[in-house]
Amino acid sequence: MPLMGQKNFRVLNKPVTRVDALDKVTGRAQYAADLNFPNMLYGGCLRSGLSHANIVKIDTSKAKAIPGVKAVLTAADVPKPKSWADYYYLADKIRYIGDVVAIVAAESKEALSDALKAIEVEYEELPGVYTIDEALEPNAVQVREKGVGLVDGIPTPGTKGNAFLESYFPIRKGNVEEAFKKCDVIIEREYRTQFIEHSYIEPEACVAVSNPVDGTMTVYSSSQNPHFSRRYIADALQIPMNKARLVQQTLGGSFGGKEELVGLTVGRAALLAKATGQPVKMVLNREESFLESSKRHPFRIRYKVGATKDGKILAFEGQLVDNAGAYNNQTQFMNCRASIHSAGVYNIPNVKTDTFGVFTNNIHGGAMRGYSSPQIIFAQESLMEELAEALNMDPIELRRKNLLKQGDLTITSQKLVQPTIISEMLDHVLEKTDFVAKREAYNKQTGSKQKGIGLVTCYRGAGLGAETVDASGAFITALEDGSVLINSGTAENGQGLKTAYSQIVAETLGVKVEDIHHIGVDTHAIPDSGMTVASRGTVMGAQSMKKAAEKLKILILETAKEMLNASPLDEVIIEDSVCFLKSEPSRSVSLGEVCNNRLWAGKQLAVYEWFEPKPLNPDHHTGQGDVFPTYAYACVVAEVEVDLETGYVDVLKVTAAHDCGTVINPATAKGQIYGGIAMGMGFACTEEVEVNKGKLRTKNFDSYIFPTAVDVPEMDAILFECDDTEGTFGAKSLGEPATEAVGAAIANAVNSVLVRTKGERLRRLPFDLERVVLGKSLRAGGNA
């Protein structure tokens, strides 16, 4: 694709050289909660309602005597109460309010409800630990035996405490102590964030069906990661993996949330299905989902930064601590990413940060869209505003002076060899939003309602990188009529994966996109391609799909040449499902004819390919080394109006520019950005799962406030392209970048009003009514 002048980037205003936007939804959506089987039972869970307690005694006799009740199981009745991933199918002790002590299967929902109420449990309540500060106190109750204490602020083996050792990731670049001595200005700040609910419309649901003949257990589930959920089936039943099957159903939203709890749900349903010999449907209600599902981790972030008087940042130090809750399967991976991005998109020669999680008796943290980045970007971009203020410098110029450029070293000392276009993006967005003129005009306002404008620059490592393995597999079959089936172990979660993969195969193979059908994930039909997370579906997951299409194309061309009597020098082209000679296009044969020929000649028409990314081997002790194949950059501007009397923040407009590398589908790309803006609004202004001593104050959507259609602002999504060579067709991550900077930009816009009118700045999210009005006088609260 030609460059615009000498620039290494393009602003995409319309589709170029790729298939136009398509909606590839095929057939009616099939949700797990809609499934019904003959003789199906209803499954449910009993939770304690306590945050920390010993289970003294459980009496299930009354529940078992209720007509229609087919099974009542506790930890004593199952082969393995604790799952492979740290959580419990059935708890042996209460560590947080979501722990399940019994599960029931019954013929009707009424009998199920009666049975759950009839179970009698005697508890011995225990003191608990709930906030990060409490967890780090020297004599705090130890929530988990594997928790360790801190020595010089660092989780240390051989000690007792609540720090999660495996979640500790240090960054050590340069010499921070010496660098601070050379700084003219040094500031230290603390920022905190909140628990956030995923708020998917469809709660967790599945149907487990046991086959007594061959011993298999098949579960139909709304799982974000089907192969991941399959592990829970095999683990709960203690059966081989080849006897555990999960068939993914249409997801009604996930955003990272349908991982652990879906795994536990399919495991519990499988236990009940095996115990009864009948299919068991388990559908959580909203309050159950709130109680047990993972949340966005709250963070306590302490930063110290030093710069010269002309604004060059020389030293950066930080301690980033997240509230992991009672259990963990994500914190160590999430904190890997948090540490890598802990100092932002800036060229800083000396960095020392320590990132780790702590156990508490709270709801547990887990994967959520952004995977630590929204929290970290809020803190670091607030810090940039405060550093600029301390330097008496324009925050724009402070950023310009320190932004990473191609050839620079990140805080992990990775050299940026791919196009690094954040400075160009910043200039474009400033001009597009008329940022400087609006800021000057807003500074002259008076009255109780005042406007503000805020800016954020950031970057994100594309794919999983050093977090874990980022490989993938894909299977493509050409059928005798020229239609094509494609299948991948990475899953469609509503993010547009089917569309992107269909377009990539169409582009590579030369077939019509409407001739391609994407098969959903069945763990018995396709190998595990890793989890559908980290915005990796296109940038890395589609690499294998492209490879498979390339190999299949070679096979098809082989037969097409024979059928066209082409000479060795003739080039055969496949375009719109037609094969023809480049030198003589009228000599052609349809793809269907070619495939039919190969079928009856007994030749290969199906290809499976595997993609392995290049190795990344950072030093865990220092955090130094290459950690991602490439990076996606973003610049976001938010415009708000703040009612200083009521505290209401009206988000007027968000302009979001994203470096997409190559845009596979402009419509779905912009759709990601629009959804990300809405999610970022909630993070900044209204959303918080309020917890008091481990008990939820927020249990449903009647008290959990997230943005609706009437709240979303004017949105301007700007798609940048560049000639990056790492991702599929040069594509980069977008699903998570679309939301991770929005909250920080809104926070900076709100703080621009509060600093101007009140002389104070908020450093804890969300910026809700009470916090905006009361400011520092409001007790911090929360669980960060």
Is there a single domain that holds both residue 438 and residue 304?
Answer: yes
Closest CA to 286 of 682, 702, 693: 702
Cβ-contact 460, 636 below 8 angstroms:
no
Q: Which residue type sits at 671?
A: G
Is there a single domain that holds both residue 604 and residue 496?
Answer: yes
pLDDT for residue 21: 35
Residue 179 lies in a domain: no
**Mean pLDDT along residues 769-783:** 76
- Please state, in angstroms and as integers, the Cα–Cα distance from residue 138 to each residue in 114, 141, 782, following that order: 45, 9, 21
Cβ-contact 159, 142 below 8 angstroms:
no
* C-beta neighbour count of 1 within 10 angstroms: 10
Average pLDDT value over all residues in the chain: 93
Is there a single domain that holds both residue 36 and residue 85?
Answer: yes
Q: Is the pLDDT of residue 261 over 70?
A: yes
DSSP codes of every residue in 557-586: HHHHHHHTT--TTPPEEEETTEEEESS-TT
In this prediction, residue 10 has a pLDDT band, given cuts at 50, 70 and 90, of confident
pLDDT for residue 775: 86
Residue 148 lies in a domain: no
DSSP codes of every residue in 642-673: EETTT--EEEEEEEEEEE-SS-S-HHHHHHHH
Task: Provide the greatest CA pair distance for the chain.
Answer: 84
Is there a single domain that holds both residue 727 and residue 768?
Answer: yes
Q: Is the pLDDT of residue 29 over 70?
A: no
| Strand blocks (E) in 385-509 | 449-461, 472-478, 484-488
Residue 150 lies in a domain: no
What single DSSP character describes residue 412? T
Secondary-structure breakdown of the chain: helix, strand, coil percentages, each rounded to the nearest 5: 30, 25, 45
Residue where one domain finishes, among candidates 542, 577, 611: 611
Residue 159 lies in a domain: no
Q: Write the CATH number for 638.
A: 3.30.365.10
Residue 529 lies in a domain: yes
Residue 718 lies in a domain: yes
Residue 139 lies in a domain: no
Q: CA-to-CA distance for 357 and 136, rounded, in angstroms?
A: 10
Q: Which residue type sits at 172?
A: R
Q: Is the pLDDT of residue 28 over 70?
A: no
Is the pTM higher than 0.85? The answer reads: yes
pLDDT tens track for 297-324 = 999 999 999 999 999 999 999 999 999 9
Is there a single domain that holds both residue 307 and residue 455?
Answer: yes
Residue where one domain finishes, among candidates 586, 611, 636: 611
**Mean pLDDT along residues 251-260:** 90
Phi, psi of 223 (to 5 degrees): -105, 135
pLDDT tens track for 689-698 = 999 999 999 9
Which tokens hold the place of 234? 């095999």
Residue where one domain finishes, among candidates 259, 283, 307: 283
Is there a single domain that holds both residue 384 and residue 506?
Answer: no
Q: Write the CATH number for 271.
A: 3.90.1170.50
What is the torsional sign of CA 506, 511, 512, 518?
A: negative
Q: Which residue type sits at 159?
A: T
Write out 728-751 in H/E/C secondary structure: HHHCCCCCCHHHHCHHHHHHHHHH
Cβ-contact 384, 344 below 8 angstroms:
yes
Q: CA-to-CA distance for 424 and 778, rounded, in angstroms?
A: 40
b/e per residue, 465-482, with b = 16+ CB within 10 A? bbbeebbbbbbbbbbeeb
pLDDT tens track for 595-625 = 999 999 999 999 999 999 888 989 999 999 9
Q: CA-to-CA distance for 595 and 380, rounded, in angstroms?
A: 56
Residue 505 lies in a domain: yes
In this prediction, residue 30 has a pLDDT band, given cuts at 50, 70 and 90, of confident
Is there a single domain that holds both residue 539 and residue 407?
Answer: no
Is there a single domain that holds both residue 412 and residue 371?
Answer: yes
pLDDT for residue 687: 97
- Please state, in angstroms and as integers, the Cα–Cα distance from residue 775 to each residue in 379, 388, 647, 687, 752, following that order: 17, 22, 10, 17, 14
Q: CA-to-CA distance for 184 and 778, rounded, in angstroms?
A: 33
Which tokens hold the place of 686? 């209204």
Is there a single domain that holds both residue 351 and residue 461?
Answer: yes
Domains of the chain: total:
3
- Please state, in angstroms and as integers, the Cα–Cα distance from residue 310 to each residue in 314, 392, 527, following that order: 11, 10, 55
Is there a single domain that holds both residue 81 and residue 213?
Answer: yes
pLDDT tens track for 380-417 = 999 999 999 999 999 999 999 999 999 999 999 999 99
**Mean pLDDT along residues 551-572:** 96
Phi, psi of 159 (to 5 degrees): -115, 165
Q: Which domain holds residue 461?
A: 295-465+620-774
Is there a single domain that holds both residue 762 and residue 651?
Answer: yes
Q: Is the pLDDT of residue 2 over 60?
A: no
Cβ-contact 535, 735 below 8 angstroms:
yes
Is there a single domain that holds both residue 425 and residue 509?
Answer: no
